[in-house]
Amino acid sequence: MSLLLAFSPPPPADSVTVCELNSELMFNEAGEDDIAVYLQGSRKLNYPKIEITSDSLRPSSSQFCAKSAFLEHSETVWKRSMSAWYERGVTGLLEEIANSKSEVSPWLTSVSCGCLALVRWANSLHGSLFPHLVMSSEEMVNVFSSTRDWYNSPVRSFAWHPYTMKFAIACRDDSIRIHTGKSEIVPVCKHKLQKGIAMLVWKPLSASVLAVACHSCILVWHIDPTSVSTRPSSSSVQILSQTSHSPVTQICWHPSGDLLLSASPTDTAMMVWNVAMETCVPLRRLGGGGVSLLRWSPDGSKVFAATPSSVFRVWESQTWSCERWSNLSGRCQSACWSPLGDILLFTVTEEPVIYSLPFHDSNSTIFGSNQTAVNCVNLAEITMETEDEEICIGGSIQDMAWDPTGERLAILFSGKQESNNTGHLVALFRTRIKPVFEIMPCGFVKGHKDDMPQLVSFQPNFNKGALLTICWLSGRVSFVPLFFVPSSNVANDKLPVYSDFTNGSTYQPRMFSSPH
């Protein structure tokens, strides 16, 4: 049975989720107050109001070709062939010669047609084994990105800074905006190679280094936190690129910040970068057709690497040996580690299930081959009735986020927009890791009416429980504080007193417990 049946009904259509208080999710009518302002007034949280509209975005440079700005004029077949080779490679060169029968000799046309047929046959054979290889770069990023609708979403990636109240937003126009608290200065990072942004990651143990996964390379921005400039110079960016390693869709830092991993669905090797030296070492294994998902464990001992096929590997980062898991029903769509790196949760496309994979000895350099992934949660689609309507919720999972305390898990469903209300809600769970791993319902997080969640993440350094961040299809970014006392503080009798959400009175937080 679907665990979603144990949830309370979602809030009415005209309400939005504001926070969690006393183990319950609180809602507010969407028309009364803006969420960010409302939270500032009662909880003293200085989070800016973020709403990126389509009018504020410039057309992306990837959506048009500079050649269209010039009038057509006659060129020789050799100039056209060189231009086709530069833009589309060998295939473009052969196509141009084959289509210019009146300008080249018959034997050259025949040779070009024969070579073109051979190339297309080889591509079709390779594509039948790994269908993603026949996709365009933008299609590939759209499929393998954690963002539900990467192509149409105003926000394509979001990244919290690990230590301060600062975050980066990658927009559809290939710009990156850096927000710091309530500061009115919002630096905007632009670069000619910054196209098709798939992922943003701040470097650990650093105040100002941001890595960006782009179409053709990785950009590493060094943004001075004391600067008042709104347009960081291109001289403050490093460019990391490798042949046949594009589009780059996944990057992740080692928790110590000394190494950066990158992956592409077209490359069977993931690259281990020494950013300071701008050098890399490939880690390659046959099978899978590429690398589509990377997650470095919080303790730095393990790396989860999924492929576009039904194969994933877990690497040990001391000797870089790996264990392989296969025979899944599809490719891994999402994954997250527990705070201590002893439990891995992952999901598979087209299957409404969360699997768990335990690593009992997080310091061991030998995984062992007897570990089996366990089907721990069924989130099959269900229909629930509210005061206003019937809604569908559940199904296949787009992404997951586990908060740093290990006590809240947010689930983003990959519901199609044409389905009636499917995927408009984010499912929130309570989790317990010790003494045994447990997942319990908490509630549904809802945004403005008809808005679709695109990204979910938790702020790493929120000290009052957890702070869930959701990016919506409308361009709105909402901050939902979840006020609770972590189990570690309960064990040490560290129970803070908070102001009540509505009338200003105080309350003592209850100990973590199941709603049932």
Specify if 469 maps to a domain. no
Q: Do 173 and 242 fall within a single domain?
A: yes
* Phi, psi angles (nearest 5°) of residue 145: -75, 155
**What pLDDT score does 58 carry?**
65
**Is the same domain home to 215 and 244?**
yes
Can you give the residue range of the structural domain that contains 165?
47-57+154-284
- Residues 167-205 have pLDDT tens digits of 999 999 999 999 998 788 899 999 999 999 999 999 999
93 and 226 part of one domain: no
Lowest mean pLDDT among 77-86, 139-148, 290-299, 437-446: 77-86
Tell whether 93 and 163 lie within a shared domain: no
Cβ neighbours for 242, distance < 8 A, ≥ 6 positions apart: 271, 280, 282
Where does a domain end: 107, 136, 165?
Answer: 136
What are the pLDDT digits (tens) for 319-369?
999 999 988 888 999 999 999 999 999 999 989 999 999 987 544 444 544
Average pLDDT in the chain: 83
Q: Which of 140, 142, 166 is nearest to 152 (CA)?
A: 142
| Rounded-to-integer distance, Cα 516 and Cα 511, Å | 14
Residues 196, 245, single domain; the answer is yes
Highest mean pLDDT among 176-185, 293-302, 377-386: 293-302
Q: How much is the pLDDT for 56?
A: 67
Of the listed ranges 291-295, 418-422, 431-435, 489-493, the one predicted with least confidence: 418-422
Does residue 167 belong to any structural domain of this protein?
yes
Q: Domains in the chain: how many in total?
A: 2
CATH of the domain at 243: 2.130.10.10
Same domain? 180 vs 121: no
- Encoded tokens for 53: 């509209």
Prediction pTM value:
0.82
The pLDDT, as a whole number, for residue 416 is 59
Q: Choose the weakest-confidence range: 209-223, 356-370, 402-416, 465-479.
A: 356-370
- Yes or no: say if 176 and 218 are a contact pair by the CB < 8 Å rule: no
- Do 158 and 251 have their domain in common? yes
Q: Is the pLDDT higher at 196 or at 231?
A: 196
pLDDT of 389 > 80? The answer is: no
- Does residue 437 form part of some domain? no
Residue 232, pLDDT > 70, answer yes
Based on the fold, state whether residues 164 and 269 are members of the same structural domain. yes
> pLDDT tier at 124 (50, 70, 90 boundaries)?
low
**What average pLDDT does the segment 142-155 reach?**
95
Model confidence at 72: pLDDT above 80: no
Q: 166 with 106, same domain?
A: no
Residue 281 confidence (pLDDT) above 90: yes
Question: Average pLDDT of 73-102?
Answer: 74
On whether residue 396 sits in a domain, the answer given is no
| Same domain as 181, residue 102 | no
Contacts of 374 (CB under 8 A, 6+ apart): 355, 356, 357, 358
Kindly give, in sequence order, each residue whose CB lies less than 8 Å from that of residue 9, ignoring residues fewer than 6 positions away: 384, 385, 386
Q: Say which residue, 227 or 506, is predicted with more confidence.
A: 227
227, 163: one domain: yes
